[in-house]
Chain A
Amino acid sequence: MGSLSDKNYLNEFPGIWSWLTTLDHKRIGLMYLGAVMFFFLVGGIMALLMRLELFAPGGQIFSGDGYNQVLTYHGAIMVFMVIIPGIPAVLGNFFLPIQIGAKDVAFPKLNLASWYVFMSGALLAVTTFFTTKIDTGWTFYTPYSIRTQTAVVTMVLAVFIMGMSSILTGLNFIVTVHKLRAPGMTMFRIPLFVWAIYSTAIIQVLATPILGITVLLLAAEKILGIGVFDPKLGGDPVLFQHFFWFYSHPAVYIMILPAMGIISELIATFSRKTIFGYTAIAFSSIGIAAVSFFVWGHHMFVSGQSEFAGVVFSFITMLVGVPTAIKMFNWLATLYRGSISFEAPMLYALGFLFLFAIGGVTGIMLASIGLDVAFHDTYFVVAHFHYVMVGGTLMALMGGIYYWLPKMFGKMYNELWAQISFVFIFIGFNVTFFPQFILGEKGMPRRYFDYVIPYESLNRVSTVGSWLIAIGFVISLIVIIQSLRKGAKAPANPWGGKTLEWTVTSPPPHHNFDVEPVITAGPYEYR
């Protein structure tokens, strides 16, 4: 036993049981981290298998059904078990309370419960893999999902349960931000990461119940034949798409807003400069969250919805572009006259700006209704959302993990190898997904197990790129493991950050702060 000052949240209570029953937001964050990393590995292997299948036309390693199952699991795992919980439940859980000067989240027991709820949902989802599997795509479109013999009911129940966990987490964060800020921590002094997680939490609480009801209706349709979605029983299959996207479009912002929050932190810290346009960025987060509820129809321009509806949705979608553009330019302006250094987290942040710029402008292309009719359900869309979800969210998550790794574990990582892994992931990502824009423009539909010859060469390039990404992530995994095993001891503030988490020891003590902090200035006071 060391002296009292050696104690931190990792070693204060020993044993596996202390982890399984912990109410500490930091430990719960790490438990989410373990789960998310595991599912990312599984979903990533599936992506590699899909790319391998698409290396050449015709069947390579899968049957048509086998490929459809793998694409479904890849999508469902990456969306529901990696990207949605990724930043809020891992880094949000860990850093939101510390960044606002709180000892914990508002409802610590609820926080632990939401981890267990998430894990039960995830495990239930995994069980389908060992039964009849599922082959509907992560979108569960009716009436295909009603007719298929695969384990749709189990899977949508799993999604329901994981959605419940998402609601609980969101609720917890909203209350925490409103009620537990330290003295002097006004709403306009909270870090932008907190603003982002807060905006996300609002969407989680308001949108996820719709998903819950939708998947329950689908399960009821399958088991009882209630005739809501099944055209044979007088139902409307397109209604399902409306319900589904009413959640799943806001969910896209559940995925990207927290990433934007991380980028604000990284750019400010590694430029040693006050963030440009704090208020604009904060309100952009809220603005995006609000507008996100009224754009779902842009997934359905060719579904048969009326021309009027299509045009309105196209218009509102364009409006989301404005706050997004504001954020991009504000980050750029933050770099101006900064003191910029290029450790791995900053490389990921700059990588994010690069890739998200491309993801953003292609999003505008897809929002233009005449062009979307051509590009809908082609590889152009696949490329676009990978640029946003992987180039955006995942790059930010990686940057965030490297940024906060010293704080979370009290260990430094190997900078050189972390940078090498970034280079592989960044280049590999572009090699994989840029050709997919061209494929989509040339008309290759998505969810195709086989394709005609003109699409072959670009598919080859894309598959080779996927191997580069894999190498990058394997290197990163080794870097992280090595850092945990024998990384140098991390100082309290290795990057010169100004937010509250950098004022406490690495790793932080169990109750975060030995003395309750009193806040007298904004979050990025570099002057």
Chain B
Amino acid sequence: MNSDVTQIAQQVNSLYDFLLITSGIACAILIFGMIYFAVKYKRKTNNDKTPYISHNSFLEFLWSFIPLVIFMIVFAWGWIIYHEMRKFPKDSLEVHVTAKQWQWDFTYKSGKTSANEFYVPVNKPVKLIMTSMDVIHSFYIPSMKIKQDVVPGRYSALGFKAEKLGEFYVFCTEFCGTAHSAMMAKLKVVSQADYEKWLQETDEGLSMAQLGAKYYNEKGCVACHSLDGSKRVGPSWKGLFGMKDHEMEGGEKLIADENYIRTSILNSQDKIVKGYGPRSAMPAYQGQLNEKEVAALIEYIKELK
């Protein structure tokens, strides 16, 4: 994970390097001093005499004062960086972020929305205005070394200016339950032209299955259902459609047809695949998805052979 994406990340790395060096020296003094003394003053006879040294004011002053000076440097340096992090330039591109278990939604001023994936232009300051619909989440971009908690009932903000093109992970770093570790988003830093192109993109011309693939990411299915057969919070979608003898909790076996998948999406507690019960971790999507979206998801699942 490259981390010179922003000025801030570079500054954080410099501070970290400084701390690694000073810490390395401090640990070396303590650890090698300890080993040196341990070897040198190993007990020779059971009647060894040891000197009575109660204290030494000068030494004690030194090893209180020198650490204090270093701590103050580290404190001030950390403060300067933190102050930089909390600056939001007036010309920032503002994006609204809504967190919910277990998905990130992004809304742009143009009305464009996206989920678990968002685009920003390179070299443009960005301000994320964030809130949560349920519990506390935390928006963390590891390569940029920044994070901010996302709290229900209020807005918090996170700013950055990406200076490199690329794709970066966003993790949730405040424990939020079942699929906490799957609550990820992708940040795509693109050129201004590509950004504008993306803003204009609509769903027109997409096939049902392509739409389904889009909803798979945007509606949060991706958090719990894999496409490659691996087991996550929920069963994988690979090879799901048309499966015969699909065994439920309680032993019922059925065929995974359109109606089964529809039920599973809209009333997730109705049919629970064996091994994922007794209660399903999945929220019911009744009222959350319209007919077109459900149909697109089913068409997408059909293609996952």
Contacts and interface: CB of A to CB of B under 8 A. Distances in A.
A144 B132 CA distance: 12
- The B interface is mostly helix, strand or loop, or mixed, namely mixed
Interface in B134-173: 134-136, 138, 140, 142-143, 145-149, 151-154, 156, 169, 171-173
Nearest to A527: B52
Given A279-B55, A371-B19, A443 B171 contact: yes
Of listed A330, A335, A354, A372, residue having the most chain B CB within 10 A: A335
A99 interface: no
B31 A373 contact: no
Interface in B13-51: 15-16, 19, 22-23, 26-27, 30-31, 33-34, 37-38, 41-44, 48-51
A144 B175 contact: yes
A63 interface: yes
A494 interface: no
A328 B30 contact: yes
A335 B34 contact: yes
Interface in A426-446: 441-443, 445-446
A307 B1 CA distance: 28
Contacts of B11: 370
B117 to A, nearest CB: 15
A357 B26 contact: yes
Nearest to B176: A144
Contact of A58 (B16, B86, B230): B230
Interface of A: 58-59, 63-65, 68, 135-137, 141, 143-144, 147-148, 231-232, 236-238, 271-274, 276-280, 301-304, 307, 310-311, 314-315, 318-319, 321-322, 325-326, 328-330, 332-333, 335-342, 350, 353-354, 357-358, 361-362, 364-365, 367-374, 376-378, 441-443, 445-452, 454, 526-527
A374 B231 contact: no
Nearest to A336: B37
28 contacts: A64-B182, A143-B134, A147-B135, A148-B177, A236-B153, A271-B41, A274-B50, A274-B53, A280-B60, A301-B82, A304-B148, A307-B82, A314-B79, A325-B63, A326-B60, A333-B59, A339-B43, A339-B48, A350-B34, A353-B30, A365-B74, A368-B19, A368-B75, A370-B79, A374-B146, A376-B147, A452-B184, A527-B51
A301 B77 CA distance: 15
B238 interface: no
B30 A332 contact: yes
Contacts of B27: 357-358, 361
B50 A272 contact: yes
A377 B27 CA distance: 24
